[in-house]
Amino acid sequence: MLMTQQFGTQTLFTIPTDLIRIRDPFIVADHTSMLYYLFGTTDKDPWNGKGEGFQVYRSRDLKLWAEPEFVFYPPKGFWGVKNFWAPEIHYYRNAWYLIASFYADGKHRGVQIFKSTAVTGPYSPISSGPVTPEDWDCLDGTLFIEENSPWLVFSHEWTQIQDGAICAIRLSDDLSTAIGEPFTLFHATDAPWSVADTGDVIITSGKNYVTDGPFLFHDKGRLKMLWSSFAKCGYAIEIAESMNGKLEGPWKHQNQPEFSFGGHGMIFETFSGERYLALHAPNIAGKERLTLVALI
């Protein structure tokens, strides 16, 4: 990887977008610093290696990026040991929150939330463990605010239920705990294009259907959701739509995925008001790259 050079307080942005190996990208356009901050799954071996933490890249123009810096290291005694996946960064009630997935042998994969006063961290836990159900395999949590109440939308993994699901659970106002019981928004097989496939990293037999990377957004007053699964063409993204404009749905699915060349996407707006989709492609271990798609 190219190195960023620093002279005094000046940072040189020298890493081209197409050289950034990252999975599950999440970009924050910060109007205070006028910088774009790129987060994602950045460990060298995010499947089998010991969890290192999460890093952030900075850019002024989405073309060249500064050398990454860590925003999160696992604190002493942290329950998660590996599979540090899919960090998202959300600004909520005058603070920054990191939402990410973790795993340890003998425990269920879960989604935990961390807090910082700065977008670049450091991020500290606000609870002793995941906010997802302790007896569920869960990952890829995202924050959604509906009628001033915070919700965590996440994936209930195929590893436990075979037909993966996108679920939601209400959070306390400080995001530290879950309130009530989770409910299912839809299963992978509700989308006619989803096929039984688990990718090239975790290969299993049987009819297992993946749900990954939910991200909610409004488009012309309509509530929509990006989410990923496998289609006949490979890892892909659909744009589902809530038919009543509410989180509970029902959710309408496309006959074919919207984007069929990569997955786990999110949408952000540039400083000039353009909307972009960020995703990783291809979905091949070691070859993933940040990919940006301008949206109309």
Q: Which CATH class is domain 24-295?
A: mainly beta
Question: What's 50's DSSP letter?
Answer: B
CA distance 57 to 289: 13
Quick one: which H or E segment has residue 36? strand 35-41
Task: Supply the pLDDT for residue 151.
Answer: 98
202 band by pLDDT with thresholds 50, 70 and 90? confident
Mean pLDDT of the chain: 95
Tens of pLDDT, residues 139-195: 999 999 999 999 999 999 999 999 999 999 999 999 999 999 999 999 999 999 999
Sequence-ordered alpha helix ranges (H) in the chain: 158-161
Written as six digits, the tokens of 23 are 């999975």
In the prediction, which pLDDT does 206 show?
81
Percent of the chain with pLDDT over 90: 92
The pLDDT value recorded for residue 10 is: 62
Residue with tokens 């890892």: 235
Q: What pLDDT does 12 receive?
A: 85
pLDDT digits (tens, 9 = 90+) for 221-266: 999 999 999 999 999 999 999 999 999 999 999 999 999 999 999 9
Q: Are 252 and 238 in contact (CB under 8 A)?
A: no
pTM (two decimals):
0.94
Q: Where are the domains of the chain?
A: 24-295
